[in-house]
């Protein structure tokens, strides 16, 4: 009977811990499902790292799971996809988004980025070419990381239990 009561309160506590994740989620964007999945995997890693885990490989599985969680953060926080901005800032200084007014007087059009150290039109054109090249490389890196992430999840998911 005490085991049943403890189980009941453990389930209530678990439900309360999930409420903020669910409450702040929406159904129109897959990212909220990923956030929920990430949260559950993080809880699983915490359990595998704890003294309550029985499995001989629990600590190793937890480390592998932590690696997956780190990669998931990097991919879905777009760290790889946005890295080229830092590279450009080193070379051309800070960037500023440029906007132009439309003829209707109500809306604006995005004209591109203006780089602090790209003063002449030639330097600006060179910066745009380099930016495009770095952006394409960053996108490739992002896509490779995303593919690796889901291959790791596929390969390891069934090991994450005690």
Would you kindly state where each structural domain of the chain is located, as residue ranges? 2-159
pLDDT digit string, tens, across residues 103-162: 887 788 888 899 999 999 999 999 999 999 999 999 999 999 999 999 999 999 998 887
pLDDT digit string, tens, across residues 78-109: 999 999 999 999 999 999 999 988 888 778 88
Q: What is the mean pLDDT of residues 28-37?
A: 96
Q: What is the mean pLDDT of residues 51-72?
A: 95
| pLDDT value of position 104 | 81
Q: What is the mean pLDDT of residues 42-64?
A: 94
Separation of alpha carbons 104 and 137, rounded Å: 37
| pLDDT value of position 3 | 86
| pLDDT value of position 2 | 85
Q: What is the DSSP string of the chain?
A: -HHHHHHHHHHHHHHHHHHHHHHT--SS-HHHHHHHHHHHHHHHHHHHHSTT---TTHHHHHHHHHHHHHHHHHHHTTHHHHHHHHHHHHHH--EEEEEEE-TTSS-EEEEEEEETT--SHHHHHHHHHHHHHHHHHHHHHHHHHHHHHHHHHHHHGGG---
């Amino acid at each position: 009977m005490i085991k049943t009561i403890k189980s009941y309160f453990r389930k209530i506590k678990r439900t309360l811990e999930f409420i903020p994740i669910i409450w702040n989620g929406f159904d129109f964007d897959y990212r909220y499902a990923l956030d929920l999945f990430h949260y559950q995997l993080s809880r699983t890693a915490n359990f595998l790292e704890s003294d309550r885990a029985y499995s001989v490989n629990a600590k190793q599985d937890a480390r592998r799971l932590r690696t997956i969680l780190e990669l998931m953060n990097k991919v879905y926080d777009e760290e790889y996809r946005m890295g080229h901005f830092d590279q450009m800032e080193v070379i051309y200084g800070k960037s500023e988004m440029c906007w132009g007014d439309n003829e209707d007087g109500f809306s604006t059009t995005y004209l591109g980025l203006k780089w602090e150290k790209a003063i002449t039109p030639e330097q600006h054109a060179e910066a745009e070419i380099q930016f495009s090249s770095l952006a394409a490389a960053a996108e490739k890196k992002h896509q490779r990381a995303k593919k690796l992430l889901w291959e790791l999840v596929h390969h390891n998911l069934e090991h994450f239990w005690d």
